[in-house]
Amino acid sequence: MRHNSTIQGGRKKGKKSEINEEVFDEIQSRIMSKIDELISEKVNSILDSRSSNFSIGDEKKITNMETEPTSSNEGHKEQEEPISYEDALEKLGGVKTITEYKGLSDGIKASLIDSTLMKEIDKLLPPSVDRLARSTRHINQSYVADIDELFETSENVFPSFKHLIEGFAEKTNSMPMIPKLKSKERASAKAAFKYRGDNGTVANYRLNDIVRATVVFATIHDLYKGLEEAITYFTVKEFNDRYQEPLDGGYRDIQLVIDIDGYMCELQLTTGLILRAKKYIRPSQLRSESASCCSGKGP
């Protein structure tokens, strides 16, 4: 049974927001560095450095990564060892374990792809074309005149989204990580980079990740059991399995776009070890993955 909640509140029109593309790299680098710092603080207290499992107790209630950092002297916890994506994958059972779920993944993908749209895209854009976005369906928000209107709607839907994600995590014995709304500055930068038309107009309504969450599982088996549950629990509009088809740097997640009363939200499903490995990538690689994200290819 799919879960939805009614969005309350109206919309108001605001002044059109645009951003100078010349400062995009600087804004992106600062924000991604801060996000990495916040994730590190939270995940360090959750993930065990010696196994793929993590505690599903009080930590499961963590739903906001943007909190004040804990004192470095508090708890005197053992320092966890850095881990690479390759090491994380090996501890999870390797490619062989992931491949066991390829049939499930392909079946879900086939059920969600707009085949007519894909045929037209393939005609217009051959494989040699470097596409900025790789969506398998035409997924947009309802039209908004500017970024302020989009954010007002985002604020209205966030409580319902948070409630649904927490319920899903409880049902699948997983850990939800639900940050605050993506900052307006970062959202504007992404829209300007990806969705600026030839006439200079920015299609802000194409942003689907202002409201977003990550749900963390202990094992590959748990991850795909969670995916099966997500397909029935939410109204899923788009599905990208980057465990089956990882990014060039080795990063993996399962990316979903879910519909809550007509508003599109992003949900990522992943494992604790991959999330832990993400903390230890080099700053240059982090910026590279961030750029891939804004080009439709990355996390």
* pLDDT on residue 62: 37
Which CATH number fits the domain that encloses residue 288? 3.30.460.10
- How high does pLDDT run on average in the chain? 77
Tell me whether residue 268 is in a domain: yes
Tell me whether residue 13 is in a domain: no
* pLDDT on residue 181: 97
Q: Give the model confidence (pLDDT) of 252-294 as tens digits.
A: 999 999 999 999 999 999 999 999 999 877 544 544 454 444 4
Q: Give the model confidence (pLDDT) of 2-61 as tens digits.
A: 666 544 444 444 444 445 555 555 565 566 555 555 554 554 444 433 333 443 333 443
Our measurement of the distance from residue 98's CA atom to the centroid of its chain's CA atoms, rounded to an integer in Å, reads 20
Tell me whether residue 16 is in a domain: no
Tell me whether residue 18 is in a domain: no
Give the chain's domain count. 1
Tell me whether residue 10 is in a domain: no
Residue with more model confidence, 126 or 29: 126
60-71 average pLDDT score = 35
Tell me whether residue 7 is in a domain: no
Tell me whether residue 267 is in a domain: yes
197-214 average pLDDT score = 93
Residue 158 contacts residue 211 (beta carbons within 8 Å):
yes
What is the extent of the structural domain holding 251? 23-67+83-294
* pLDDT on residue 248: 87
Residue with more model confidence, 140 or 2: 140
Residue 190 contacts residue 208 (beta carbons within 8 Å):
no
Tell me whether residue 263 is in a domain: yes
Q: 53-57, 222-226, 230-234, 272-276: lowest mean pLDDT where?
A: 53-57
What confidence category does residue 121 fall into, taking pLDDT thresholds of 50, 70 and 90? low
What's the burial of 152, exposed, middle or buried (CB within 10 Å: 0-12/13-18/19+)? middle
Q: Calculate the alpha carbon distances from 46 to 167, 216, 276, 282 in Å.
A: 20, 11, 10, 22
